[in-house]
């Protein structure tokens, strides 16, 4: 994205004030809302990235999910919200769309290898919730949820994160612990029956998945029209059905 584009987009994006905290760095206790953003999305140029692909967060941005867990993308975080894989462009639209970007910023933070303090499933689900809160169309939100759930990064260990307020865990740590149902239960990686340890799997947003994603989008559209919408569990089942070889998708 060129600088001219940034000059047009940044004023709109920096005004995404979803609920003000008492200051840029404070998380109100208790949070003043449920399923909501707290803070303002402010993006700044990244002097370390001459390509302009990434930006820096100018302020803390929080998201409170439906279970009252808090997610934080911190001031100074690097985000590549402008970098939309070719697979997703037909579904997302233009880079840095204001309705999509706040959710993407939160998701970027918690999928970064340095910040995997919550499970990949919980991270995908909060991405979906954050899209809905910012009025992303339900078909688009569910299609994007399927995409990040099936093709996004997966990890089988959690880092013991640094607290950032009540029910808030933020950055990463040194100690790794195995995750079961999103909870830290042991200090060893998960070992599967065949004796292999599956610690992580990188994102695979190859356009080879385009046909599958379009079919899923069509199923979502039809289910919405019929009044029998697909749930997130339904979408997760579809992902496991199509990718039964992927241990992350077929095991809880």
Quote the domain boundaries for residue 170. 3-250
Q: In a 3-state reduction of DSSP, which class is residue 217? A: helix
Q: What percent of the chain has pLDDT over 90?
A: 43
Cis peptide before 26 (omega within 30 of 0): no
What is the average pLDDT across 157-168?
81
The 10s digit of each residue's pLDDT in 107-133 is: 989 998 888 889 999 999 999 999 999
Domain total of the chain:
1
**175 or 77: whose pLDDT is higher?**
77
Q: How many helices (H) and strands (E) does the chain have?
A: 8, 12
pTM, entire model: 0.79
Asked whether the predicted pLDDT for residue 179 surpasses 60, the reply is: no
CA-CA distance, 150 to 139, in Å (whole number)? Answer: 16
Q: What is the mean pLDDT of the chain?
A: 78
Q: Is the pLDDT reported for residue 187 higher than 90? A: no
Q: What's the token pair of residue 230?
A: 């697909």
């Amino acid at each position: 994205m060129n600088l001219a584009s940034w000059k047009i987009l940044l004023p709109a994006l920096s005004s995404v004030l979803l609920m003000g905290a008492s200051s840029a760095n404070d998380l109100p206790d208790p949070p003043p809302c449920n399923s909501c953003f707290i803070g303002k999305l402010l993006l700044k140029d990244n002097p370390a990235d001459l390509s302009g692909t990434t930006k820096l967060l100018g302020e803390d941005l929080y998201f409170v999910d439906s279970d009252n867990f808090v997610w934080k993308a911190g001031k100074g975080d690097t985000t590549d919200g402008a970098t939309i894989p070719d697979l997703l462009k037909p579904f997302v639209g233009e880079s840095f769309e204001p309705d999509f970007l706040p959710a993407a910023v939160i998701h970027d933070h918690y999928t970064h290898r340095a910040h995997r303090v919550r499970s990949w499933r919980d991270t995908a689900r909060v991405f979906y919730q954050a899209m809905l809160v910012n009025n992303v169309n339900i078909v688009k939100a569910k299609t994007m949820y399927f995409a990040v759930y099936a093709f996004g990064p997966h990890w089988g260990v959690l880092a013991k994160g640094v607290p950032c307020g009540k029910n808030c865990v933020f950055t990463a740590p040194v100690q790794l612990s195995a995750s079961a149902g999103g909870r830290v239960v042991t200090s060893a990686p998960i070992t599967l029956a065949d004796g292999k340890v599956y610690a992580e799997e990188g994102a695979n947003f190859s356009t080879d998945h385009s046909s599958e994603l379009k079919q899923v989008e069509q199923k979502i559209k039809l289910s919405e029209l019929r009044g029998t919408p697909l749930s997130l569990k339904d979408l997760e089942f579809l992902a496991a059905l199509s990718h039964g070889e992927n241990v992350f998708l077929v095991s809880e």
